[in-house]
């Protein structure tokens, strides 16, 4: 089972282009360790910038990693993969002039289900993220 401490190493291995930005982010005086959602937000910004540039070579590996978080993660990791990363990508992309739907082809089955749940929630079609999924 993947736990919180597994998340960033897994995603950094999948997205080597994020390494320099990750190290710079961690060197900032305002950086606080153990804030996974903030860390995933940084990665979301990086992925949206890669999409903007059309530099998507790492996306298959990245979204394989995201799928692993959804399938193999503990409850905290699963939620962070959805709310921290997928929702982060949707928000950053949507506010940056990048169509969030451009990420959909890279999603694997479980991640795609949660992406759709986020959309349903924000479209007012679900009371909460995951409301339409069967346990």
* 15 is a domain residue: yes
Q: What confidence score (pLDDT) does residue 22 get?
A: 96
Q: What confidence score (pLDDT) does residue 99 get?
A: 97
Mean pLDDT of 62-72: 98
Task: Name the 3-class secondary structure at 130.
Answer: coil
* 128 is a domain residue: no
* 96 is a domain residue: yes
Q: What confidence score (pLDDT) does residue 132 get?
A: 79
Q: What confidence score (pLDDT) does residue 118 get?
A: 93
Query: In the structure, what pLDDT confidence band is assigned to residue 65 with cuts at 50, 70 and 90?
Result: very high
Burial status of residue 29 (CB atoms within 10 A of its CB: 0-12, 13-18, 19 or more) = exposed
* 47 is a domain residue: yes
Which among 24, 21, 17, 19 has a CA at the least distance from the CA of 9? Answer: 19
How many domains is the chain partitioned into structurally? 1
Find the domain containing 95 and state its range: 4-122
* 127 is a domain residue: no
* Per-residue pLDDT reduced to its tens digit, 71-130: 999 999 999 999 999 999 999 999 999 999 999 999 999 999 999 999 988 888 887 887
Distance CA 102, CA 95 (A): 14
The token pair that represents 123 in the structure block: 């479209």
| pTM of the predicted structure, to 2 decimals | 0.93
* 132 is a domain residue: no
* 104 is a domain residue: yes
Mean pLDDT of 13-17: 98
* Per-residue pLDDT reduced to its tens digit, 21-34: 999 999 999 999 99
* 55 is a domain residue: yes
Q: What confidence score (pLDDT) does residue 68 get?
A: 98
Q: What confidence score (pLDDT) does residue 122 get?
A: 83
């Amino acid at each position: 089972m993947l736990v919180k401490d597994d998340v960033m190493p897994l995603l950094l291995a999948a997205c080597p282009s994020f390494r320099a930005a990750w190290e710079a982010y961690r060197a900032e005086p305002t950086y606080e360790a153990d804030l996974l959602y903030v860390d995933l937000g940084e990665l979301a910004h990086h992925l949206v910038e890669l999409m903007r540039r059309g530099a998507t070579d790492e996306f298959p590996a990245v979204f394989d990693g995201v799928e692993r978080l959804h399938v193999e993660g503990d409850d905290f990791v699963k939620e962070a993969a959805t709310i921290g990363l997928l929702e982060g990508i949707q928000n950053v992309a949507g506010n940056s002039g990048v169509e969030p739907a451009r990420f959909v082809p890279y999603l694997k089955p479980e991640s795609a289900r949660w992406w759709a749940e986020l959309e349903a929630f924000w479209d007012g079609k679900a009371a909460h993220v995951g409301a339409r999924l069967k346990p």
